[in-house]
Structure 1
Amino acid sequence: MIRFEDVSVVYDGAAKPAIRGVDLTVPEGELALLVGPSGVGKSTLLNAVCGLVPHFTGGTLRGRVTVDGRDTRTHPPRELADAVGTVGQDPLAHFVTDTVEDELAYGMESLGLPRDTMRRRVEETLDLLGLTELRDRPIASLSGGQQQRVAIGSVLTPHPRVLVLDEPTSALDPAAAEEVLAVLQRLVHDLGTTVLLAEHRLERVVQYADQVIVLPSPGAAPTAGAPADMMAVSPVRPPVVALGRLAGWSPLPLTVRDARRRAAPLRERLANLAPPPRTGGRVPLITSTRAPAPVAVAAERLTVRRGRAEVLRGVSLSVAAGETVALMGRNGAGKSTLLAALVGLHRPAAGSVRLGDLAPHRTRPAELLRHAGLVPQDPRDLLYADTVAAECTAADADAQAAAGTCRALVAELLPGVSDDAHPRDLSEGQRLALALAVVLTARPRLLLLDEPTRGLDYAAKARLVGVLRELAAAGHAIVLATHDVELAAELAHRVVILADGEVVADGPTAEVVVASPSFAPQVAKILGPAGSGAEGTPWLTVAQVRDALEAAA
């Protein structure tokens, strides 16, 4: 169904190919998972399937890509639209209508399908993706995760034979991600749809793949094979695979269920050990026994309205200096709205927000910059210069920081990125890391991050965790809204769960996430509940298990 024959792509002005020597086949009715570190060319490979490369991105394509027998060099995207449905990393770039129902119907209208067929497929897709209650909503009013479901639905309704998806679950809560992946499984198994997707959150999707394609480094030829075989050599891997490699299991497990069946000897080795405390930088991170720290930000019975709707209702949240808090909950629960209210972008309809002695919504942005910084879901909201170097220079000037401060942060988060690179040419994860560096340049005492690991591979996520831990150890308060349960387990001291604009849980990470099947990390599911440490504390991360075993040895 999809065939690459010695394909290379070189963008104009680039020193080396984005992808090179790609020679692979994705048969009809298979789900192929494309994995690799950020910036290795995954999006380029996906865009070559739908014809965006080279017809819209420019550059030179050598070799041959065929989809359902059509050569993408001679068939531009409009001539592939009936066969290939594509959703990129940025769902907003795909929308052409104003409401959910109109967007789901638009692709079928373009293909001239009968009205009765369109109506039936819209209803089916609304049900499949849990969008029924949103059918009349303006797309602009939806959360990032809801918009991503709409984008996926808009390419499902025309019933393409091939689906190309770039980070399809990156902005989805765990339950919504499972629903989307279940839909993809049904299309593959029941209808013979061919799916090619790139995803960094491998813990969600690797078990569903028929084959895994690994892009190990920029310009390197990919390798493809069975998922377990590829995970043994892949530079990126989910926690379940990392734990299997640590324990020496063969073949490597891809699911929690398979890992639990083999975990009894590992549980015995860990039975008398306690999970080591997580540390940040050179200073131990805060624990539950810390001395009282000054409050960095406090919301008291906060209510925020958008139009007539109450997005937040009576939310009370206090975050101390040096504390890291993860906001979790389903899409549309109010997480992004709460972050925006903490930095003064929303005026409280009731209640209050205090940032030290400041009321954020009454504080001038130039003054607020040194007290609080927000990295939004879409990092392009913060990036406006033509090069990485120009962004860094502007950030240093805005923060009145020493020259080179921002560039040093970029080097730490994004090693190897050129000063001359245009932010729009970076991958989604690279743009997010650049935006984070811009915000961190001012060293705000309160750092707010909205889906900070969207588009980041595991190595980039580890670098981000290291930076945030050092900031917390230095006394900065951090609040992050995330659907990444592994990030929360690795980094957060507390987890706050929102539902319908209200706080429904607030407590230490180990207690809150383990109590929820949706938000528990893979290691906790594999080793718990009987796998708790000697002090009754559950194991949350592979790093905890590795450090405990090494200390015992």
Structure 2
Amino acid sequence: MIRFEEVSVHYEGARAPALTGVDLTVPEGELALLVGPSGVGKSTLLGTVSGLVPHFTGGTLRGRVTVDGRDTRTHRPRELADVVGTVGQDPLAHFVTDVVEDELAYGMESLGLPPETMRRRVEETLDLLGLAELRDRPIASLSGGQMQRVAIGSVLTPHPRVLVLDEPTSALDPAAAEEVLAVLQRLVHDLGTTVLMAEHRLERVVHYADQLVLLPGPGERARSGDPAELMAVSPVRPPVVALGGLAGWTPLPLSVRDARRRASGLREQLADRQPETEHPALGKELARTDRLRVRRGRRTVLHELSLTVRAGETVALMGRNGAGKSTLLRTLVGGHEPAGGTVRVGGVEPHRTPPGELLRHAGLVPQEPRDLLYADTVAAECRAADRDAGAEPGSCRALTAELLPDIADDTHPRDLSEGQRLALALAIILTAAPPLILLDEPTRGLDYAAKSRLVTVLRGLAARGHAVVLATHDVELAAESAGRVLIMAQGELVADGPTAEVVVSSPAFAPQIAKILAPQRWLTMPQVRAALADDR
């Protein structure tokens, strides 16, 4: 269905090709998972299938990409729209209407489908993706994860033969991600749809893949084949695969179920040991809400919410899409005025405090990092961040290099991947070093190596007396970085406690290691690796 013949892509002004010598086939009715570190060209490869590369992005494409026999060099994206449905990393860039139901119908209207067909497919898609309650909602009022589901639904309604998805579950809570992946499985198995997907959260998707397409790194040729075989040589691995490698299991497990069946010996080996846990000394109160209520339009988004955050702690804020996590973070930086109750950050009321003064108390890295990026090079962004924060020249650039190795000073932020832009925005906020640091989905678009570097940075901040609150659907990040987990539902706090106690008891929010080694309370690979190192 999709054929790549010695495909290379080189963008004007770039030092090296974005892709080199890709030669592989994705058969009809298979789910192919594209894997590789951040910045190796996964989004570019996906763009060649839809025709966005090079017709929209520019650059030079050498070789040949065919989709259902159509050459994407001679067919522009609109001439492939009946065959290829595409959802990029940024759902906001995808929308052309204002209301959910209208967005689901738009693609079919463009293809001239009969009204009765459109109506039936809209209803089917609303049910498939759990969007029925949102059908009349303005898209601007949705959470990031809800937008992601609407974006996926809008390309499903025309019934394309090929789906191209870039990070489709990155903004979804675990339950919503499972729903979307189950829908994709149904499309592949029952309708013969071909799916090519890039996803950094491999723990969610690798066991669904029929084929793995591995982009190892710059200058290296793509490889395709059996998922378990390629995971053995992949530079990025989910925890279940890493645990299998540590235990010496062959073939490597791809799912929690496979790993649990083989983990009895490992559980016995770890039975008389306890995970290493840190108990940081907490300092003064940095933020407090008391019976906080926040409304957006006619809807009450936060209900009687009370919490305290202290210096030195890292708190993971979790819950379903639309639970109110992002609203809480924005309220802490003055983005929303309370409809009731109180909120104080560093002794001030955020909504009554000028942004420049508030930055001395709290800083937010939003879900959309481009909201913080205005300059035309990475170096210019960093110089502006140093100036605005009153920091030593080079401070922001040093942080950026820590999170983003090998990014050139003259790189334009728009040429960075979604994960790289997020890391740059994080460096800008960290340059100001506010006591309270708020992160909204900070690992969206980050591979495991970049996530590990982020965890190191967050631990360093907490050790220096900062408080970190991160709203995340990434259960692995919460397990590795947070000492405390808050779970929200419908604008209320429903759980608040130590990470091990909260996530191990939750099927939705438990990390892979916890599921494999339950009922023991191991959460992360570093904990298991440290315990087993004592035997060597």
TM tier relative to shorter chain: over 0.9
Letter of the structure 1 residue corresponding to residue 111 of structure 2: L
Which aligned pairs between 1:352-371 and structure 2 lie closer than 5 A? 352-371=342-361
Give the alignment of 1:96-175 within 5 angstroms: 96-175=96-175
Shift of 1:273: 1.1
Could you say what secondary structure the match of 1:441 adopts? Answer: helix
Looking at structure 2, the residues matched to 312 and 276 of structure 1 have their Cα atoms a distance apart, in angstroms, of 35
Q: What is the CA–CA distance in structure 1 between the aligned matches of 2:214 and 2:369, rounded to whole Å?
A: 27
Structure 2 Cα separation of the partners of residues 485 and 448 of structure 1 = 17
Per-residue CA distance 1:193-213 (angstroms, 9 max, x = gap): 000000000000000000001
Aligned 1:256-275 pairs, distance under 5 A: 256-275=256-275
Please name the residue that 1:70 is paired with: 70
Give SS of 2:341's match.
strand
Q: Deviation per CA, 1:304-362: give whole Å up to 9, x if none.
A: 00111100000111111000111100000000000001111111111111112211111
Check conservation: 1:40, 1:219, Cα contact below 8 A. no
User: Counterparts of 1:502 and 1:374 in 2: how far apart (Å)?
Assistant: 21
| Counterpart selection for 1:506 from 478, 496, 500 | 496
Tell me the CA shift for residue 425 of structure 1. Answer: 0.6
Which residue matches 1:335? Answer: 325
Counterpart AA for 1:244: G
**For each residue in 1:140-164, what CA deviation from the matched residue of structure 2 results, as whole angstroms up to 9, or x when unmatched?**
0000000000000000000000000
What are the equivalent positions in structure 2 for 1:34-73 lying under 5 Å apart?
34-73=34-73
In the alignment, the residues of structure 2 paired with residue 243 and residue 128 of structure 1 have an alpha-carbon distance, to the nearest angstrom, of 34
Q: Check whether the contact 1:83–1:161 (CA below 8 A) recurs between aligned residues.
A: yes
> How far is the alpha carbon of 1:219 from its aligned partner?
3.2
Instruction: Give the counterpart letter for 1:106 in structure 2.
Output: Y
Structure 1 CA distance for aligned equivalents of residues 103 and 218 of structure 2: 35
Alignment match, 2:228: 228
How far, CA to CA, are the matches of 2:487 and 2:15 in structure 1? 46
Q: 1:540 aligns with which of 518, 523, 530?
A: 523
1:420 is aligned to: 410
Residue in 2 that maps onto 1:389? 379
Moved more, 216-225 or 448-457: 216-225
Q: 2:295 is matched with which residue: 305, 311, 324?
A: 305
Q: How does the TM-score come out when normalised to structure 2?
A: 0.99
SS in structure 2 of the partner of residue 233 of structure 1: coil
Q: Which amino acid aligns with 2:145?
A: G
Shift of 1:119: 0.2
CA distance in 1, matches of 2:448, 2:173: 18
Contact 1:85/1:162 (CA < 8 Å) preserved in 2?
yes
What residue is the counterpart of 1:242 in the other structure? Answer: 242
Match of 2:238, as an amino acid? P
Given the alignment, which residue of 358, 369, 384 partners 1:379?
369
Q: Match for residue 458 of structure 1?
A: 448
Please report how far the alpha carbon of residue 293 of structure 1 lies from its aligned counterpart in structure 2 after TM superposition.
Answer: 2.2
Q: Give 1:552 deviation, angstroms.
A: 4.1
Q: Is 1:299–1:353's contact at 8 Å kept on the other side of the alignment?
A: yes
- Structure 2 Cα separation of the partners of residues 528 and 228 of structure 1: 24
Maintained 8 Å contact 1:41/1:219: no
Cα distance between partner residues in 2 of 1:14 and 1:239: 34
Q: Letter of the aligned partner of 2:367 in structure 1?
A: Q
- Stretches of structure 2 that go unaligned for 5 or more consecutive residues are none
1:183 — aligned with what?
A: 183
Whole-Å Cα distance in 2 between the matches of residues 189 and 50 of structure 1?
A: 22
**1:446 equivalent in structure 2:** 436
**1:197 aligns to what SS in structure 2?**
strand
Equivalent AA in structure 1 for residue 532 of structure 2 = L
Q: Provide the rounded CA distance (Å) in 1 between the counterparts of 2:295 and 2:94.
A: 28
Aligned residue pairs, count: 536
Task: Give the Cα separation in 1 of the matches to 2:194 and 2:296.
Answer: 41
**What amino acid sits opposite 1:342 in the alignment?**
L
1:398 paired with 2:404, answer no
* Partner of residue 213, structure 1: 213
SS at match of 1:259: helix
Name the SS of the counterpart of 2:496 in structure 1: strand
Contact 1:28 1:194 (8 Å CA) reproduced? yes
Following the alignment from structure 1 to structure 2, what is the Cα–Cα distance between the partners of residues 399 and 72? Answer: 47
Partner of 1:310: helix, strand, or coil? strand
Q: Deviations over 1:384-420 (max 9, x none)?
A: 1000000000000100001000000000000000110
Q: For 1:102 and 1:500, locate their aligned partners in 2 and report how far apart those are by CA, in whole Å.
A: 26
Q: What SS does the corresponding residue of 1:116 show, helix, strand or coil? A: helix
1:252, distance to aligned residue in structure 2 (A):
0.5
Q: Which residue of 1 aligns with 2:534?
A: 551
Query: Among 469, 473, 487, which residue is 2:459 paired with?
Result: 469
In structure 2, C-alpha distance between the alignment counterparts of 1:190 and 1:224, rounded to whole Å: 24
Q: Report the secondary structure of 1:120's partner residue.
A: helix
Q: Which residue of 2 is the match for residue 282 of structure 1?
A: none
Give the structure-1-normalised TM-score. 0.96
**1:472-507 alpha-carbon deviations (Å, 9 max, x no partner):** 011100000000000001111111011000011111
1:514 and 1:520 in contact (8 A); partners too: yes
Distance in 1 (CA, whole Å) between partners of 2:132 and 2:143 is: 15
Structure-2 separation of matches of 1:15 and 1:421: 10
2:401 aligned partner: 411
Q: Which runs of 5+ in 1 are unaligned?
A: 279-284, 533-537
Are 1:488 and 2:478 counterparts? yes
Partner in structure 2 of residue 295 of structure 1: 285
The structural deviation recorded for 1:551 is: 2.7
Residue 276 of structure 1 pairs with residue 271 of structure 2:
no
Match of 1:281 in 2: none
Note the C-alpha offset of 1:370.
Answer: 1.8
**Partner secondary structure for residue 299 of structure 1:** strand
* C-alpha deviation, 1:218, in angstroms: 2.0
Q: Is the 8 A contact 1:335 1:498 kept in 2?
A: yes
For 1:271 and 1:140, locate their aligned partners in 2 and report how far apart those are by CA, in whole Å: 50
